Amino acid sequence: MISPDSFSKGISLDSDDGANKNYEGNTIPHGGKLVDLLVTGDQLKELKEQSITFPNLLLTKKHQCDIELLLNGGFSPLETFMDEVTYKSVVESMRLPNGLLWSMPITLDVDQTTVDIINKTTDKNLALRDEEGNLIAVLQVSDIYKPNKEVEAQKTMGSVDPYHPGVSHIFQAKEYYISGRLQGCQLPVHYDYQPLRRTPREVRKMFVENGWNNVIAFQTRNPMHRAHRELTVRAAELNPSCKLLIHPVVGMTKPGDIDYHTRVKCYRSIMGSYPEGLAELSLLPLCMRMGGPREVLWHAIIRKNFGCNHFIVGRDHAGPGEDKQGNLFYQPYEAQEMALKYQEDLGVKILPFQMMVFVPAHDKYYPVDQVPEGLETANISGTKLRHLLRTGGEIPNWFTYSKVVEILQQSCPPKIKQGFTLFFTGFSGSGKSTIANALNEALLADGTRSITLLDGDVVRTFLSSELGFSKEHRNLNIKRIGFVASEICKAGGIAICAPIAPYNESRNFSRSLINQNGGGFIEIHISTPIEVCEKRDRKGLYAKVRAGQLKGFTGIDDPYEVPESPELRIDTTHTSVKDSVNEILSFLRKEGYII
Ligand SMILES: Nc1ncnc2c1ncn2[C@@H]1O[C@H](COP(=O)(O)OS(=O)(=O)O)[C@@H](OP(=O)(O)O)[C@H]1O
Ligand SMILES: Nc1ncnc2c1ncn2[C@@H]1O[C@H](COP(=O)(O)OP(=O)(O)O)[C@@H](O)[C@H]1O
């Protein structure tokens, strides 16, 4: 797959000008050659015709990010998803079988059904398609293997805690990985920011046209503020032959991050603050794993493939933050130390930076280890910034640019304008619909918000009429409700949902989907005991169950997983409808959702 003689060794990183140069006018790609897997002309026509008979594999968003960088050479020297030998070598030793440094497994996961389908075909070809049916590539499968996910997570992420986004990616992946010859038909389609979505070849061409020989890449998954601008300009000042590539990730980042549309607006705006001709902006369709030390090496390799020979590594690079107990997954400078350790192997000069902090007395930013003695510093964390945006607090001028504040305020409206979902869950007859309806009335009386009531029975009539009450169907029903609610929240509306929702899986799915789309999620467990619900038996269903005419009834002979930490828990045995509604309204007021 990778020729050993393409392994570029012994690159001098002593001077700016000497760092890994001389490939079409700029930096040598990792492994010596920039991969291009896209077929063209008659070959493409033929492949497309043949592919009609191949079984289809629907690519997930993560697959699409990975395949884009495989096809366009961003992952050079990889020429396909990893086979078992390559995968094991990377997991165990961070090296490809030929010895070249490569830190992150790039794999294509499939389920048993797909494996059975592949095994039934004679030529083992799969048509890899996006959700719109576009043919992205053809994979001729030559290797099917079962990964040891615990080992993969532990070795690559240093953890098996599914709270870590990268670990969660690994455990959510299907049970088999497949590999084989990969032929690209087209890059995944993007409708937004096309001029900024440059391939490695296009970025390299831009460098040549600009006359840029040495380029520092800056990776980010956050909006950029003054500190980032200062840091990048400082990196260029310390390396005077270098220009800057601002190269933010717009594929998949950490759940809860600010969406890339908002970030791209911020980046575009901040580009105007750089000295003329110093910096260019380009977008990277990467699916981050938040793997800190392993990830930083991968990031540097990718930037090398994009023609950069310097890479800025600051504090907590690609860090996933803390685990549930509040312990850091990685130490703040662990990734930086790793990058410096492997600098020669990478063939990229690592520019380590401490955190930049503002020194009010000098009206200027300094790396935290270079602050003149005795002077006070100021900083605003991401969490504090989100709080200021949500509460409409003032964001100081020293922190960011007024235009950036404006963009962030539009995307992060104060809570009072934010969409939110009131998600009731509980047994049949617990009081969900009654309280939901009364709450609907109370909120409507306020008169200013758009409210949609998604009652369990109503949803089952219109949205999920074909579904029954198996675990699979119940989860699907709740995921549909979660999806509709997330769309309502996205548009700034209020969704009130009142299904039984007996399983954590689909309740949590709905929560994260809604949160991802900028909506608030308030889970209200109506915890009325089953005996009380049965006594009420408004619909006569419990009587039917007892008469043996209805099976699989929640709380009787079907499970209900009690929510561990709902925002509210109300037992209606001794709480009136009015009091329940008032309790919910007070919660919404306290949290700032309503006045
Ligand atoms: N087997 C079984 N178990 C529970 N409930 C049953 C069942 N069969 C029918 N019903 C009626 O369907 C309503 C529950 O539908 P949901 O969509 O809320 O259920 S779920 O969340 O998908 O589990 C539920 O409505 P509510 O009483 O409003 O909760 C029942 O009326
Ligand atoms: N405090 C209370 N809150 C809500 N419902 C109550 C309360 N006390 C009695 N009920 C009654 O319980 C029955 C079941 O309520 P319902 O809203 O249909 O439950 P669910 O939607 O959870 O199946 C209704 O007849 C309702 O009037």
Task: Tell me the torsion sign for CA atoms 169, 175, 177, 178.
Answer: negative
pLDDT digits (tens, 9 = 90+) for 445-477: 877 789 999 988 889 999 999 999 999 999 999
d(CA 150, CA 127): 30
d(CA 33, CA 42): 25
- Please give the domain boundaries of the chain with CATH numbers for all domains: 34-184 (3.10.400.10), 194-284+290-411 (3.40.50.620), 415-590 (3.40.50.300)
Region 180-208 average pLDDT: 97
Q: Which of 428, 432, 434, 583 to mutate to test the pocket of ligand 2 (most atoms within 8 A of CB)?
A: 434
169 contacts 163 by C-beta, under 8 angstroms: no
pLDDT digits (tens, 9 = 90+) for 94-144: 999 999 999 999 999 999 999 999 999 999 999 999 989 999 999 999 999
Q: Catalytic annotation on 220?
A: yes
Complete edge-to-edge strand list for the sheet that includes strand 451-455: 451-455, 494-498, 420-425, 520-526, 568-570
Q: Between the CA of residue 338 and those of 105, 290, 315, 335, what are the distances in Å?
A: 17, 15, 12, 5
- Which listed ligand is nearest to 480 at the C-alpha? 1
Q: Catalytic annotation on 222?
A: yes
Region 273-293 average pLDDT: 97
- 456 forms beta bridges with none
pLDDT at 24: 55
Q: How far is the CA of 54 from the centre of ligand 1 (A)?
A: 41
Atom 17 in ligand 1: which residue has the minimum CA distance? 456
Share of the chain above pLDDT 70, in %: 96
Ligand 1 neighbourhood includes 457 CB (under 6 angstroms): yes
Least confident of 295-299, 535-539, 544-548, 589-593: 589-593
Q: How far is the CA of 460 from the centre of ligand 1 (A)?
A: 9
Q: Catalytic annotation on 221?
A: yes
Catalytic annotation, pick one of 20, 72, 114, 220? 220
H-type helices in 500-576, by residue range? 504-516, 530-536, 541-546
475 contacts 505 by C-beta, under 8 angstroms: yes
Q: How far is the CA of 489 from the centre of ligand 1 (A)?
A: 25
User: What is the phi/psi pair of residue 349, to 5°?
Assistant: -80, 125
d(CA 422, CA 511): 10
Going by pLDDT thresholds of 50, 70 and 90, the confidence category of residue 3 is: very low
Atom 15 in ligand 2: which residue has the minimum CA distance? 431
- Which listed ligand is nearest to 557 at the C-alpha? 1
Ligand 1 neighbourhood includes 426 CB (under 6 angstroms): no
Q: How far is the CA of 430 from the centre of ligand 2 (A)?
A: 6
d(CA 260, CA 283): 10
Strand 214-220 and strand 242-248: the pairing is parallel
User: What is the phi/psi pair of residue 108, to 5°?
Assistant: -115, 110
pLDDT digits (tens, 9 = 90+) for 385-436: 888 887 788 999 999 999 999 999 888 777 888 899 999 999 999 999 999 9
**DSSP code of residue 378:** B
Catalytic annotation, pick one of 198, 221, 294, 303? 221
- 312 forms beta bridges with 351
Region 37-49 average pLDDT: 97
- On average, the pLDDT of the chain sits at 93
Predicted structure pTM score? 0.74
Catalytic annotation, pick one of 98, 134, 222, 515? 222
pLDDT at 11: 40
Least confident of 435-449, 464-478, 501-515, 555-569: 435-449
Q: Is residue 12 predicted with pLDDT exceeding 50? A: no
- 356 forms beta bridges with 367
- Which listed ligand is nearest to 430 at the C-alpha? 2
- Which listed ligand is nearest to 456 at the C-alpha? 1
Q: Residue 193 CA to chain centroid, in angstroms?
A: 19
The string of DSSP letters for 25-51 reads TBPPPTTSS----B--HHHHHHHHHHH
Count the residues in the chain: 595
Report how far apart the first and last C-alpha atoms of the chain are (Å, whole number).
63
User: What is the phi/psi pair of residue 299, to 5°?
Assistant: -60, -40
pLDDT at 384: 85
Q: Which two tokens stand for residue 43?
A: 């070959």
d(CA 364, CA 356): 10
Q: Is residue 374 predicted with pLDDT exceeding 90? A: yes
Going by pLDDT thresholds of 50, 70 and 90, the confidence category of residue 15 is: very low
Going by pLDDT thresholds of 50, 70 and 90, the confidence category of residue 21 is: low
142 contacts 119 by C-beta, under 8 angstroms: no
Region 364-385 average pLDDT: 91
Q: Which of 278, 219, 226 lies closest to 250 in space, CA to CA? A: 219
Atom 10 in ligand 2: which residue has the minimum CA distance? 431
Q: How far is the CA of 427 from the centre of ligand 1 (A)?
A: 8
Q: Which two tokens stand for residue 141?
A: 């499968």
Q: Which of 477, 453, 483 lies closest to 465 in space, CA to CA? A: 477
Query: Which residues contact residue 54 at a Cβ distance below 8 angstroms, ignoring those fewer than 6 apart?
Result: 121, 125, 126, 127, 138
Q: Is residue 8 predicted with pLDDT exceeding 70? A: no
79 contacts 86 by C-beta, under 8 angstroms: no
2 contacts 11 by C-beta, under 8 angstroms: no
Q: How far is the CA of 466 from the centre of ligand 2 (A)?
A: 26
Q: Is residue 293 predicted with pLDDT exceeding 80? A: yes
pLDDT digits (tens, 9 = 90+) for 61-93: 999 999 999 999 999 999 999 999 999 999 999
d(CA 82, CA 142): 11
